[in-house]
Amino acid sequence: MTIQKENHTISDIPVIDLGGMKDNLKQTADQVLHAAKNIGFLFVRIPSEQKEHLHMFEKSKEFFALPTEDKMKYLINPETNLGYSAMRQEMVDTEHVKKGDFKESLNLGRLINGEPQQDLAVFADHMDTLRQFQARCNSIVCDLMECLAVALKIPEENGGRYYFSKRYLNDSAPQDVIRLLHYPPMDDDTNNDDNSEGKDIRIGRHSDYGMITLLWQSKVGGLQIQSNNEMQDPTKMSWLDVPVLDDCLVVNVGDCLQYWTNGYLKSTKHRVVFKPNTEQTPRYSMAYFVQGGEMALDPVPSALLPSKDASEAIEFKTSTEYLKYRLSVTYGGDY
Ligand SMILES: O=C(O)CCC(=O)C(=O)O
Ligand SMILES: [Fe+2]
């Protein structure tokens, strides 16, 4: 699938205020669509009264500060994709990086009726923080989905403005994941020679598997997006730095949404590197992955979409099928 023919500059990543939906839905919706189809990334402004992400960051830092043996009690369950992944356990770029990613993470599954579906004893006293963060994520996701449906002019008989959000909220098996990430400072184990991109990698080049990802960064940057998305040759890849904007979160389109829109919306490759002067600083980030669950990977009913490339075989019927395949690659076929 052809993704992007032209290179982009950082000014292509707009800052969008979803509060604008109230008075000017069409304009806000068009801004979201423009970014989603041109670069696959956008910033969403965080109103100053919203503090849920800050509370989550505190809990995240506390978790990663625990001794390794305590964290290992929550080791990731291959069946559910929930739990703790240790340093180097994951490798998202199997083509260009030979060692696992220089990061650790904790995947928290969706709370159902406010309750966790995994062992989360370590968060037992902080469930309200988790509940409030999840509720905030859901609300941002629904706003974004409504914007996309409006700008894609989905006919009323197909659900109109609520085409995506209704399916999302009605999904029988929602598999959204909150992922807490910790990238420690460089150490003797950070061997820069073993990746052919010739860069110090915190997480290798990848696209996200699901529909939409919300990403909060905490102070330390390093996130980059590939401006020539389809380029496979590491020597010819070009990368744009995504700045850390304190009052914004980052949003990106995932593979499922690209697939559903016949490539109209772009799931752009990205990675995190050690930026100069931050090698000795840990980076914390949090991602909220909207996975799509058991929703069928059907083309979105929009006249704006290009027709499907006939050469492309339909391999996956649901988002979950696709997710399982991608995870099996990331974890080295252990799953
Ligand atoms: O930490 C980041 O900024 C990026 C994380 C990411 O891309 C991912 O987990 O998919
Ligand atoms: Fe990602």
DSSP for 11-46?
GGS-EE-GGGGTT-HHHHHHHHHHHHHHTSEEEEE-
* Pocket-forming residues, ligand 1, beta carbon under 6 Å: 179, 181, 203, 208, 215, 217, 223, 270, 272, 285, 287
pLDDT of residue 251: 98
Q: Which of 25-39, 124-138, 272-286 has the lowest mean pLDDT?
A: 272-286
Nearest bound ligand to the CA of residue 250: 1
Would residue 61 count as lying in a domain?
Answer: yes
Cβ atoms of 98 and 195 closer than 8 Å: yes
Quote the ipTM score: 0.99
Ligand 1: residue of 178, 179, 285, 326 to mutate (most ligand atoms within 8 A of CB) is 285
Span 128-185, pLDDT tens digits: 999 999 999 999 999 999 999 999 999 999 999 999 998 888 877 778 999 999 999 8
Ligand 2 centroid to residue 158 C-alpha, Å: 30
Cβ atoms of 266 and 230 closer than 8 Å: no
Q: Any residues with CB less than 8 A from the CB of 318 and at least 6 apart, and which? A: 292, 293, 294, 295, 296, 297
pLDDT of residue 103: 87
Cβ atoms of 123 and 60 closer than 8 Å: no
Q: CA-to-CA distance for 138 and 136, rounded, in angstroms?
A: 5
Hey, which of 23-27, 291-295, 326-330 has the most confident mean pLDDT?
A: 23-27
Q: CA-to-CA distance for 313 and 84, rounded, in angstroms?
A: 34
**In this structure, how many other beta carbons lie within 10 angstroms of the beta carbon of residue 20?**
15
Would residue 44 count as lying in a domain?
Answer: yes
Would residue 90 count as lying in a domain?
Answer: yes
C-alpha pair distances (Å), 77 with each of 72, 73, 102, 106, 310:
11, 11, 20, 11, 37
Q: CA-to-CA distance for 142 and 110, rounded, in angstroms?
A: 15
Ligand 2 centroid to residue 209 C-alpha, Å: 8
Ligand 2 centroid to residue 156 C-alpha, Å: 33
Would residue 39 count as lying in a domain?
Answer: yes
Q: Which two tokens stand for residue 70?
A: 């305590």
Ligand 1: residue of 13, 97, 203, 241 to mutate (most ligand atoms within 8 A of CB) is 203
Q: Domain containing 35 — which CATH number?
A: 2.60.120.330
pTM of the full predicted structure? 0.90
Nearest bound ligand to the CA of residue 107: 1
Would residue 6 count as lying in a domain?
Answer: no
Would residue 10 count as lying in a domain?
Answer: no
Ligand 1: residue of 251, 272, 323 to mutate (most ligand atoms within 8 A of CB) is 272
Q: CA-to-CA distance for 328 and 315, rounded, in angstroms?
A: 15
Ligand 1 centroid to residue 104 C-alpha, Å: 11
Q: CA-to-CA distance for 93 and 97, rounded, in angstroms?
A: 6
Range of the domain at 91: 15-331
Ligand 1 centroid to residue 287 C-alpha, Å: 7
Residue nearest atom 3 of ligand 1, based on CA coordinates: 223
Strand partners, 215: 250, 287
Q: CA-to-CA distance for 2 and 94, rounded, in angstroms?
A: 21
Q: CA-to-CA distance for 114 and 110, rounded, in angstroms?
A: 9
Would residue 185 count as lying in a domain?
Answer: yes
Would residue 327 count as lying in a domain?
Answer: yes
Residue nearest atom 1 of ligand 1, based on CA coordinates: 285
Domain count of the chain?
1
